[in-house]
Amino acid sequence: MDIGRAFGFVFQDPNWLKKILIGGVLLIIPIFGWLVVAGYGLRIMKNVINGSDLPLPEWDDLGGLFSDGLKVFVVTIVWAIPLAIISAILRQGNGFFFQCLTFVIDVLTAVIIAAAVPPVAASGNISDGFQVQAIFSRVTSHIGDYLIIYLLGIVLAVIAVAGLIGLCVGILFTITYVTLVQAHLASQAYLRSIGSAAPPQQAF
């Protein structure tokens, strides 16, 4: 995967600052704004999968972005809930073995969600986020890519929290940036898992 591209593509759009600021402002609006930003991330995935990660999408279709965000939310929650229940049960056990199992389930949750959302972006069909056999096949055949995404997710979490330096307001903008980076990484992993070449590096 091109990790550098994922972290840097945002800044190659001449209007990147305005678009990131809009995303940050939308995050102030509970539920609606959160889902719109999630839908924006799905649009990024679609663009990367189609081989054109630039320019960044416009924010001119809030209704469509909200609808896309709902798809992301449903896919995420359906996968996360049963795995979270398993993790919670394992946490009741004592000892190193149960701690290890809990950690594995937590990693598996993040990895599966990263693999389940991009096919929805590619087709527009939410049902593609629940193709269990296909999703597990992609994860197991490219487990290295998905583990990299998990580890980079920790780095991105640190970046997001760094926004707290901006009197708690900056975190809204760093979360938007992190959302786009994660979307790019997940899309790259998806492309590699289906045997497609990585998207071309485009710039203005």
Tokens of 34: 């959160």
The crossing angle, in degrees rounded to 10, of helices 143-162 and 132-141 is 90
- Asked, for residue 64, whether it belongs to a domain, the answer is no
Q: Do 45 and 118 form a contact (C-beta atoms < 8 A)?
A: yes
Q: How many domains does the structure of the chain reveal?
A: 1
Q: What pTM does this model have?
A: 0.86
- Would you state the pLDDT for residue 204? 44
- Asked, for residue 160, whether it belongs to a domain, the answer is yes
- Asked, for residue 170, whether it belongs to a domain, the answer is yes
- Would you state the pLDDT for residue 51? 87
CA distance readout (Å), 31 to 28, 35, 68, 117: 9, 6, 13, 19
Instruction: Kindly give the parts of the chain with pLDDT less than 50.
Output: 203-204
Range of the domain at 26: 18-51+71-193
- Asked, for residue 9, whether it belongs to a domain, the answer is no
- Asked, for residue 82, whether it belongs to a domain, the answer is yes
- Asked, for residue 200, whether it belongs to a domain, the answer is no
- Asked, for residue 141, whether it belongs to a domain, the answer is yes
Q: Do 199 and 53 form a contact (C-beta atoms < 8 A)?
A: yes
- Would you state the pLDDT for residue 160? 65
Q: Do 117 and 42 form a contact (C-beta atoms < 8 A)?
A: yes
- Asked, for residue 25, whether it belongs to a domain, the answer is yes
Tokens of 166: 């901006």
Residue located via tokens 């990367």: 48
